[in-house]
A and B are shown apart, each in its own frame.
Chain A
């Protein structure tokens, strides 16, 4: 008998059918991966199971008995635990306080902190989830915070654990650790639902794979019976090219970007970029590869005018933009797809048209003197929305209401649509599902075809290998190796990315968790 069963669960939001008769089964001791694009309805269906949403139809069965789950309390009492996509942790409180919240040990209203702490330590030991019970959440790295979330569910007595996109925020190292934690949970008799849109993870960890698309379950398979191409097809509903082949040779035109002996300080005052020299010419994609935190962020910020370099020069088509601000850089022909689309790429409270005109809002035809021209902006927005396939009811929708993939298309539409000389793309596919990744990759390649210079900064080896004409490997603020696309493979890149001195990581080890991860 299955531990958890869903029969024809249906849930509609105004204007969207988020779940359309979703049926699925979870057996005891099983890891089921729930795979689907952003917006497929994965979180919705699991929120129904957890009692956060009430379904419009269908039923949920626990241990074969129909369960009317109306609140998280009831879900918890039935033995269902959920780790949400956005953590449900109270940052100023300690690990112990967060774990016992709602089920605090103690009498007469007082909390018995000694007992609470001991239970947390016991659980932590039993499941191999090491964590300091007295640390404040705010001081912990995300990987550790996630452990606290898992411990919280276990403390509440979860037999079924739902993990909603647990790897989205983890480094590759943390992803590996999470996978081994999940396996040990299953060995202890738990059953796990693992929500993701990343194919490699599904292949690595799942016993069974359930694929959702547009609110429906569209298929069920297992890692032995399929491969990532098959999964991608099922998930997106069409053939997806996971790795786009470039059809043309790079045509190196004039030098567009030249960076000479650049030194940049990080926020913490350390020299994050320690003397970097390179150039990018028109019609070429140069990728900067590296493990996160090796100076890529600071390099990008100084090129695009968001961070003042300590020393060195940056030339854009011969114009010195070393100390230029972002406005001057844009006017000089630079476009930037920032790594954090929410913080730097978009204004979520603005609508699509407003977001699309940002940066060009002062210049004709979008402005005339101090006034903006809504007609021109609207016409441009309509064209871009069509050209870049942004799925939205209208240009007047707020950017914050789009799915992640469509938000990124919006940024791409603005930055490439501006027709720049140089495109700086920092982690342009972070957090996107395969369909959207393919789209963004095609746009970047199209920019290259039309003779633009592209500087791609990515943590994803797959992305670097499939797009780059040349790869610069960055390690501790320096470019330690330059490789032509022919010479680069995952193994070589990994070797230089980790400093070149250490042992070679196997390609497998580097690739699987790195792709889609965000180290």
Chain B
């Protein structure tokens, strides 16, 4: 029984499930470090997922699809940037508006371009990079099976995400961009008074977070599912926000927190096999990742400190 649940694939799948969460969470980290709340991650991810799929359907190239996803994510986040930076509107409202907009826009374009709601035709997906032969039998082969499955079974964006987490972590702490980013979210006026543009810094951060959330959408459709379904992000953008907080507003922390949520999701799928054994409603398992989010947000991270100026529009003078 336990052997059916604890398999190499459980961990491999945790890594896969963590990827879109982590990308969006790192996007959230960058955005909030600059002082802008990005509750729109959900909608941006959905936008990326849709335009990525549409591009693959149009051109047959998964990589062009990834580019379209990233570009459309950055594009729709520009709306959030303009509203919350230039117009100084409430960032939560602007983010919510984008979530609603993304849902409506993707549904509308589905109908317009493909003539039906629901799910698109299947698309050409990105395959795992590595494909190693597995050696004969015995304990060594078993160990290799685990190793291969967890480390080498993945698609490109899964690896790219780990790279992004590490690079972003270093960049935030060791580069000029990172220093200014950290300062922006804490005390934008201090940044302004040393002659660095607050607006530009925040714009760049919001666009980056949009690009990352768009990439998360590409991972969902072009690597995992192989088609687009309306509202397929299903709350992942919000879980990503929680992961960013749980990860204490750092990229690597966001990644690790996403891994935890990804693991919960993978486990939930595995646990479905228990349905034949004991009578538990499947919805209970489905709740697992969300339940974990609530518990984590309510308890463990009670004392995490957000950037001091997050959510506050900046006004010159």
Complex Cα–Cα for A492 and B190 (A): 44
B302 contacts A by Cβ under 8 Å? no
A88 touching B193, Cβ below 8 Å: yes
Which residues of the partner chain B approach A82 to less than 8 Å between Cβ atoms?
A: 193
Q: Assess the B308–A102 pair: CB atoms within 8 A.
A: no
**In contact, A73 and B195 (Cβ under 8 angstroms):** yes
Which partner residue on chain B sits nearest A102 by CB separation?
A: B194
Cβ contact of B191, chosen from A102, A110, A152, cutoff 8 A: A102
Question: Which residue of chain B has its CB nearest to the CB of A100?
Answer: B179
| A-B residue pair count with CB separations less than 8 angstroms | 75
Measured in the bound complex, the distance between the Cα atoms of B179 and A90 in whole Å is 10
**Interface residue? B177 (CB, 8 A):** yes
- Taking CB atoms and an 8 Å cut-off, the chain A residues in 70-117 that contact chain B are 71-77, 82, 84, 88-93, 97-98, 100-104, 106, 109-111, 113
Whether B115 sits at the interface, judged by CB under 8 Å, is no
Chain A residues closer than 8 Å to B308, beta-carbon distance: 91
B173-194 CB contact bits vs A (8 Å, 1 = yes)? 0111101101100110111111
Residues of B within 8 A of A77 (CB): 195
- B176 near A90 with CB under 8 A, answer no
Q: Flag if B194 contacts A101 (CB, 8 Å).
A: yes
> Separation in Å of the A194 CB from the closest CB of chain B?
19
Q: Which chain A residue lies CB-closest to B308?
A: A91
Please tell me the number of chain B residues within 8 Å of chain A, measured between CB atoms: 21
Q: Within 8 Å CB of A52, what residues of B?
A: 192-193, 316-317
Q: Is B196 close to A, CB under 8 A?
A: yes
Shortest C-beta distance, B194 to chain A (Å), equals: 3
Q: Let me know if A91 and B317 touch, CB within 8 A.
A: no
Which residues of A sit under 8 angstroms from B196, Cβ to Cβ?
Answer: 73, 101-102
Q: Is A89 in contact with B317, judged by CB distance below 8 angstroms?
A: no
Q: Which residues of B contact A109 (CB under 8 A)?
A: 175-177
Contact present for B180 and A101 (CB under 8 Å): yes
Q: In the complex, are the beta carbons of A156 and B194 less than 8 A apart? A: yes
Given contacts A72-B195, A76-B195, A90-B187, contact A101 B175 (CB under 8 A): no
Chain A residue with the shortest CB-CB distance to B187: A90
Residue A178 CB within 8 A of the other chain: no
Nearest CB of chain A from residue B41's CB, rounded to whole Å: 24
B192 contacts A90, C-beta separation under 8 Å: no
Task: Note all chain B residues with C-beta closer than 8 A to A93.
Answer: 179, 182-183, 186
Cβ contact within 8 Å between A92 and B186: yes
In the complex, are the beta carbons of A76 and B194 less than 8 A apart?
A: yes
Q: Give the residue name and chain of the B residue nearest to A73 (CB).
A: B195
Q: Please pick, from A71, A91, A110, A152, the residue contacting B186 in the complex, using a CB distance under 8 A.
A: A91
* Residue-wise interface mask of A (130-155) relative to B, using a CB-CB cutoff of 8 A (1 in contact, 0 not): 00000000000000000000001000
Residue of A nearest to B185 (CB): A90
Q: Which residue of B lies closest to A89 (CB)?
A: B190
Q: Which residues of B contact A76 (CB under 8 A)?
A: 194-195
How far does the alpha carbon of A104 sit from the alpha carbon of B195 in the complex, in Å?
A: 12
Q: Please name all residues of chain A whose beta carbon is closer than 8 Å to the beta carbon of B194 when the two chains form the complex.
A: 72, 76, 88, 101-103, 152, 156
The contact of A88 among B174, B190, B317, by CB within 8 Å, is: B190
Give, as a whole number of angstroms, the nearest-CB distance from A112 to chain B. Answer: 10
A189-B189 Cα distance, complex, nearest whole Å:
29
What residues of B have a CB within 8 angstroms of the CB of A71 in the complex? 195
Q: Across the interface, name the chain B residue whose C-beta is closest to A71.
A: B195
Is the beta-carbon distance between A53 and B317 smaller than 8 angstroms?
Answer: yes
How many whole Å from A64's CB to the nearest CB in chain B? Answer: 23
- Give complex CA distance A98, B191 in Å: 9
Q: With A76-B195, A102-B196 known to touch, is A90 a contact of B174 (CB < 8 Å)?
A: no
Which residues of A are found within 8 Å of B183, using beta-carbon distances?
90, 93, 97, 101
Residues of B within 8 A of A103 (CB): 194
- Chain A residues with Cβ below 8 Å from B182 are 90, 92-93
Q: Which residue of chain B lies nearest to A83 when distances are taken between CB atoms in the complex?
A: B193
Interface contact B179-A97, CB-CB below 8 Å: yes
List CB contacts (< 8 Å) of A151-195 with chain B.
Answer: 152, 156
Q: Does A47 contact B (CB under 8 A)?
A: yes
Question: What are the residues of chain B within 8 A of A90 when measuring CB–CB?
Answer: 182-183, 186-187, 190
Cα(A89)–Cα(B308), bound, Å: 12
Chain A residue numbers with a CB within 8 Å of B190 are 88-90, 98, 101
Enumerate chain A residues within 8 angstroms of B177, measured Cβ to Cβ. 109
Q: How far is the CB of B292 from chain A (nearest CB, A)?
A: 29
Q: Kindly report which residue of chain B lies nearest to residue A51, judged by CB atoms.
A: B195
Beyond A72-B194, A72-B195, A102-B194, whether A89 also contacts B187 by CB under 8 A is yes
Complex Cα gap A120–B165 (Å): 31
Chain A residues 327 to 362 lying within 8 A of chain B, measured CB to CB, are none
Complex contact A47–B195 (CB within 8 A): no
**A477–chain B nearest beta-carbon distance, Å:** 33
Distance between A191 CB and nearest chain B CB, rounded to angstroms: 20
CA distance A101 to B186 in the complex (A): 13
Q: Cα distance A111–B179 when bound, in Å? A: 9
Residue contact B186 to A47, C-beta cutoff 8 Å: no
When distances are taken between beta carbons in the complex, the residues of chain B under 8 Å from A100 are 179
Contact A106 B193 (CB under 8 A): no
CB pair A88 B187 closer than 8 Å: yes
For B190, the closest partner residue in chain A by CB is: A88
Bound CA span A101–B191, Å: 8
- The CA of A110 and the CA of B189, in the complex, are separated in Å by 23
Residue of A nearest to B309 (CB): A90
In the complex, residue of chain A having the shortest beta-carbon distance to the beta carbon of B305: A92
Identify 10 residue pairs between A and B in the complex whose beta-carbon atoms are under 8 Å apart, listed by A's number: A47-B317, A52-B193, A52-B316, A74-B195, A90-B186, A93-B182, A102-B196, A110-B174, A111-B179, A156-B194
A residues touching B (Cβ–Cβ < 8 Å)?
47, 50, 52-53, 71-77, 82, 84, 88-93, 97-98, 100-104, 106, 109-111, 113, 152, 156
4 closest residue pairs by CB, A with B: A73-B195, A102-B194, A88-B190, A90-B183
Given contacts A77-B195, A98-B190, 15 further A-B contacts (CB under 8 A): A47-B317, A52-B317, A73-B196, A75-B195, A88-B189, A88-B193, A88-B194, A101-B179, A101-B194, A101-B196, A102-B194, A102-B195, A110-B175, A110-B176, A111-B179
